[in-house]
């Protein structure tokens, strides 16, 4: 693990996204059913799973520091006709950032959506996992929009 004891404690925030692409018939059915599947409320369950993953990132990714999570916001909306976009923003006040927590939260939320919808199709794709922005610490980062 990297020694962060000499770093300043600062407010830090990171936002990540993940895309879940459905076959057209499945997307149409999910839209008609208000994002519900046989297992229940797809997005609500994904938000819970993603939040749980944010809090346990240090147990999943070797060498990640356990961090006090000050805030976590996960949401999802249709990116296009067949693609659901998941966004996860995580905040902490600490010596190291929360990029891995945001990426983990978005990814586990997407995996949960897959699990809740796999009875409809296994042709669901999880893609576009990426950091969008981070603030605090030495370097801020903001992905250029293309």
Residue 102's φ and ψ, nearest 5 degrees, are -65, -45
List the single range of 4-13, 75-84, 101-110 with lowest mean pLDDT. Answer: 4-13
| 3-class SS string, the chain | CCCCCCCCCEEEEEEEEEEEECCHHHHHHHHHCCCEECCEEHHHHHHHHHHHHHHCHHHHCCCCCCCCCCEEEEEEEEEECCEEEEEEEEEEEECCCCHHHHHHHHHHHHHHHHHHHCCCCCCCEEEEEEEEEEECCCCCEECCCC
CB 42 within 8 A of CB 116: yes
Q: Give the mean model confidence (pLDDT) for residues 88-117.
A: 97
**pLDDT per position as a tens digit, 46-66:** 999 999 999 999 999 999 999
pLDDT above 60: residue 146: no
Whether 44 is catalytic: no
Of the listed 44, 70, 80, 115, which one is catalytic? 115
Confidence at residue 109, expressed as pLDDT on a 0 to 100 scale: 98
**pLDDT per position as a tens digit, 21-51:** 999 999 999 999 999 999 999 999 999 999 9
d(CA 88, CA 105): 6
Average pLDDT, the chain: 96
Q: How confident is the model at residue 137 (pLDDT cuts 50, 70, 90)?
A: confident
pLDDT above 70: residue 144: yes
d(CA 120, CA 116): 9
pTM value is 0.95
Confidence at residue 115, expressed as pLDDT on a 0 to 100 scale: 98
């Amino acid at each position: 693990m990297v020694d962060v004891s000499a770093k300043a404690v600062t407010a830090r925030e990171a936002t990540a996204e993940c895309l879940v692409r459905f076959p057209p018939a499945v997307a149409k059915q999910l839209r008609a059913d208000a994002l519900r599947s046989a297992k229940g409320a797809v997005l609500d369950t994904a938000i819970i799973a993603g939040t749980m993953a944010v809090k346990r990132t240090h147990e999943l990714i070797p060498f990640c520091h356990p961090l006090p999570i000050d805030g976590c916001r996960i949401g999802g909306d249709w990116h296009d006709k067949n693609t659901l976009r998941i966004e996860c923003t995580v905040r902490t006040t600490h010596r190291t950032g929360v990029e891995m927590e945001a990426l983990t939260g978005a990814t586990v939320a997407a995996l949960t959506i897959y699990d809740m919808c796999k009875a409809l199709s296994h042709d669901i794709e999880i893609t576009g996992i990426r950091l969008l922005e981070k603030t605090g610490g030495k370097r801020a980062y903001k992905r250029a929009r293309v």
